[in-house]
Chains A and B, each alone.
Chain A
Amino acid sequence: MSLPSSEVFRSAALTRQLAGEIRQVVTRPWNIMEICGGQTHAILQYGLDQLLPPEITLIHGPGCPVCVTALESIENALQIARQPDVIFCSFGDMLRVPGARANLFSARAEGADVRVVYSPLDAVKLARETPQKQVVFFAIGFETTVPSIAASILHAERNKISNFSILPANVLVPPAMHAILKSPDNRVNAFLAAGHVCAVMGYWEYEPIAAQYRTPIVVTGFEPVDLLRGILMSVRQLESGRSEVENAYERAVTREGNPDAQAMITQVFEPVDRQWRGIGLISLSGLGLRPRFKSFDALERFALAHQAVSESPLCIAGQVLRGNATPHDCPAFGRECTPASPLGAPMVSSEGACAAYYRYQRVKT
């Protein structure tokens, strides 16, 4: 069997047919949110929102881990990167994210040894090859990325690679869902759950959320057919008053998820409170290293000066990320805040609502 994704799940004919189904089923306005940067990217790349009937509003939630990384984390990253004998490793998309004044790109231009890695395991490899340096990996990402970071820590421990550490900044999806749903001005009617997060974690964690808030949650993939199928199933539930967890990404996701991956995560990490850029503190929404692995925590290894950092008072990212405001409602939009000089998460990411609106708005004028 050939790689199953491309033809069928990108089929234009099937995608249009699913869009037609959605049009037939929908009778009232519904707001559907995805909390997954990859899904946001796919929706914008394929223009899927243009295929949907006007009753359906897609809200792009805080699903880009790069963009929701707290300002304080970025400032810590910059401090560490600027130290001598440090090689600071990061996923590529993190380099452009602005801190209070600088970003990792500009730090590199000023002489910091900042390197893009494709995988956390590459950072461990680098640590082994450069024993005289401290190699630090910027550990961002949702549950999809956490197993690879856990594996890199275990690999470092097993092989006694002591010059490796991570700057913990991972975040979890379920607490973010809770935070959004229990907010009094919540407008989300249904969620598309992130397909690859669920490939790791399964979807049993979402069942109590769906029940508590009477909100359908459909595990969804990333190709156009997958996304429209997820939206169709959400709309069917909404129209019939159901609020269950369903799986529209069966080929990669089971209810239990990947137990080996989950065991690796639990072995190395434990839930901690975490700040989300533009949203604020969400309790137990992050992951920190367990005591046995604390020696791999860059925050413990490097004495960092505490810096008070605060988000721009102009930025209404929190409301935009929850779908309670559009970028046009923001007084800074297009003025103090542009893709070249972003103030908050939805403008930092090229898939963020504000960046997307900015691009389309320029077109209209």
Chain B
Amino acid sequence: MTKTNYPNLQGPVCPLPLQPGGQIVMGHGSGGGMTRDLIVNVFQKYLGNAILNAGNDSALLNGELVAPPGYQLVVSTDAHVVFPLFFPGSDIGRLSVCGTVNDVAMLGAQPKYLTASFILEEGFAIDELEKVLASMRDACAEADVRIIAADTKVTEKGKADKLFITTTGIGWAPAGRKITGDQAQPGDAVLISGALGNHGIAVLQARGNLGFQSDVQSDAAPLNHLTQALCAAFPDVHVMRDPTRGGLATTLVEIAQQSSVTIQLDEPEIPIDASVRAACDLLGLDPLYLANEGKVIVILPEEHAEDALSFLRAQKYGEKARRIGRVIARSSGQLLLRTALGTTRVLDMLAGEMLPRIC
């Protein structure tokens, strides 16, 4: 059989072994030897487990991967395009695991496994990729989830900000459990698991163009152990949600609208670290609209609020839990803030991107 030398249309594909300190090139996405090399020596090194390492294109869901009787499946998916990839306290890898773990956990489900799809930009340093994967491995271990299916593609330089990660999470919750945004009732207490705004400020600082330094760290964390314990102890939790993009205010407006209620917050009770507040004052940002990646809002009947608060404070990631407001009435859905002065103002959803103010 003769071999014809066809011109190479995809960039370098000659199968050089991976060099430490090397870069992603188009060949890594070609599906051939280089891709296999990347998967086995880099991805599986950090994320490997029996299922992933089997080398199939999909994972068969059998045995322990199947929801037991009396349980309902929960699935969630999230793309992660944060830039820069590394910021104080966390990185895109940890974020991609925690974000999806938390989305599943917010419905009162225990996340069991994830899928992860990676889009790598040509020129991306493999060292950085390894750091991200190590962080994902650690986050998965902490959350006690496995990545059972994964994919990787490479795009040309300029078409992806170094790395995009999409994760899908699957878990299960007891059948009949309904912890969704439309369940808030007048009289319910509104709790938050800790201080707000840290993640948003950490990322802004890492971007560098707002020229400030601080010790603020992202709060990215897997909350499934906390939420599972809470739901087991307090079966009548009505709503749980993590205030990610758009912050506490946007998230509560959404819940208020879904539940057709008015929620009133007590401004002095909302926990915000001093340096986050200073950064917000400096830049003209409102901490109630900054993203959080390791916090949960809990809405539950008043009679259990105090006990739930004590319970949260005894959990990891819930130590600074506070009661911040109440669901006060049925309505078309609005969020009010009662200030320290006793005055009240309306909080809207975040409209568009939050920008630093000068006036």
Spell out A's residues near B (CB within 8 Å).
10, 12, 15-16, 36-38, 41, 44-48, 50-51, 63-66, 91-93, 95-96, 105, 115-119, 122, 141, 145, 224, 339-340, 359-360, 362-363, 365
Q: Given that A118-B209, A122-B211 are known contacts, is A93 also in contact with B357, CB under 8 Å in the complex?
A: yes
In this assembly, does B72 line the interface, its C-beta being within 8 Å of a C-beta of chain A? no
In this assembly, does B158 line the interface, its C-beta being within 8 Å of a C-beta of chain A? no
Complex CA gap A80/B185 in Å reads 53
Q: Residue of B at shortest CB range from A360?
A: B346
CB pair B209–A116 under 8 Å, yes or no, is yes
Additional pairs, 7, CB under 8 Å, beyond known A10-B340, A38-B359, A141-B358: A12-B340, A47-B341, A91-B356, A93-B284, A116-B355, A224-B341, A359-B348
CB pair B355–A93 under 8 Å, yes or no, is yes
CB pair A117–B209 under 8 Å, yes or no, is yes
CB pair B210–A118 under 8 Å, yes or no, is yes
Query: Which 9 pairs show the lowest CB-CB distances between chains A and B?
Result: A47-B343, A92-B355, A37-B359, A50-B343, A92-B356, A12-B340, A91-B358, A118-B210, A93-B357
Q: Residue of B at shortest CB range from A140?
A: B358
CB distance from B175 to the nearest CB of A (A): 39
In this assembly, does B342 line the interface, its C-beta being within 8 Å of a C-beta of chain A? yes
The listed residue (A16, A37, A66, A92) touching B341 by CB distance below 8 A is A16
Complex CA gap A360/B211 in Å reads 36
Q: Which B residues lie within 8 Å of A92 (CB)?
A: 355-358
The listed residue (A12, A36, A65) touching B342 by CB distance below 8 A is A12
In this assembly, does B283 line the interface, its C-beta being within 8 Å of a C-beta of chain A? yes
In this assembly, does B31 line the interface, its C-beta being within 8 Å of a C-beta of chain A? no
Spell out B's residues near A (CB within 8 Å).
209-211, 283-284, 332, 334, 339-346, 348, 351-353, 355-359
CB pair B334–A363 under 8 Å, yes or no, is yes
Complex CA gap A48/B356 in Å reads 23
Complex CA gap A12/B340 in Å reads 6
Complex CA gap A194/B51 in Å reads 66
CB pair A93–B344 under 8 Å, yes or no, is no
Q: Residue of B at shortest CB range from A358?
A: B348
Q: Residue of B at shortest CB range from A91?
A: B358
Q: Which A residues lie within 8 Å of B334 (CB)?
A: 362-363
The secondary-structure label for the interface of chain B is: loop
Q: Given that A12-B340, A96-B352, A118-B209 are known contacts, is A44 also in contact with B357, CB under 8 Å in the complex?
A: no
CB distance from B288 to the nearest CB of A (A): 11
Q: Which B residues lie within 8 Å of A66 (CB)?
A: 358-359
Q: Which A residues lie within 8 Å of B353 (CB)?
A: 105
CB pair B358–A145 under 8 Å, yes or no, is yes
Q: Residue of B at shortest CB range from A67?
A: B359
CB pair A359–B210 under 8 Å, yes or no, is no
The listed residue (A10, A50, A65, A96) touching B344 by CB distance below 8 A is A50
CB pair A46–B283 under 8 Å, yes or no, is no
CB pair B283–A118 under 8 Å, yes or no, is yes
Q: Which B residues lie within 8 Å of A340 (CB)?
A: 351
Q: Given that A117-B209, A118-B210, A122-B209 are known contacts, is A16 also in contact with B342, CB under 8 Å in the complex?
A: yes
The listed residue (B211, B284, B343) touching A51 by CB distance below 8 A is B343
Complex CA gap A10/B341 in Å reads 9
The listed residue (A117, A224, A363) touching B346 by CB distance below 8 A is A363
CB pair A51–B341 under 8 Å, yes or no, is yes
Q: Given that A119-B211, A122-B209 are known contacts, is A47 also in contact with B359, CB under 8 Å in the complex?
A: no
Complex CA gap A95/B334 in Å reads 28
CB pair B211–A118 under 8 Å, yes or no, is yes
The listed residue (B211, B343, B346) touching A48 by CB distance below 8 A is B343
CB distance from B246 to the nearest CB of A (A): 15
Complex CA gap A362/B209 in Å reads 36
Q: Residue of A at shortest CB range from B356?
A: A92
CB pair B359–A63 under 8 Å, yes or no, is yes
Q: Which A residues lie within 8 Å of B348 (CB)?
A: 359
Q: Which A residues lie within 8 Å of B359 (CB)?
A: 36-38, 41, 63-66, 93, 141
CB pair A46–B339 under 8 Å, yes or no, is yes
Q: What are 27 A-B interface contacts by the 8 Å CB criterion?
A: A10-B340, A12-B342, A38-B359, A41-B357, A45-B339, A45-B345, A48-B341, A50-B343, A50-B344, A51-B342, A51-B343, A64-B359, A92-B355, A92-B356, A92-B358, A93-B357, A115-B209, A116-B356, A117-B209, A118-B356, A122-B209, A122-B211, A145-B358, A359-B348, A360-B346, A362-B334, A363-B334
Q: Which A residues lie within 8 Å of B351 (CB)?
A: 339-340
Q: Which B residues lie within 8 Å of A141 (CB)?
A: 358-359
Q: Which B residues lie within 8 Å of A365 (CB)?
A: 332
Complex CA gap A91/B355 in Å reads 9
Q: Which B residues lie within 8 Å of A105 (CB)?
A: 352-353
CB pair A47–B339 under 8 Å, yes or no, is yes
Q: Given that A117-B209, A118-B210, A363-B334 are known contacts, is A15 also in contact with B341, CB under 8 Å in the complex?
A: yes
Q: Which B residues lie within 8 Å of A116 (CB)?
A: 209, 355-356
Q: Which B residues lie within 8 Å of A362 (CB)?
A: 334, 346
Q: Which B residues lie within 8 Å of A224 (CB)?
A: 341
Complex CA gap A97/B343 in Å reads 30
Complex CA gap A329/B209 in Å reads 42
Complex CA gap A115/B355 in Å reads 11
Q: Residue of B at shortest CB range from A3?
A: B278
CB distance from A291 to the nearest CB of B (A): 28
Q: Residue of A at shortest CB range from B336?
A: A363
Q: Which A residues lie within 8 Å of B344 (CB)?
A: 47, 50
Complex CA gap A118/B357 in Å reads 9
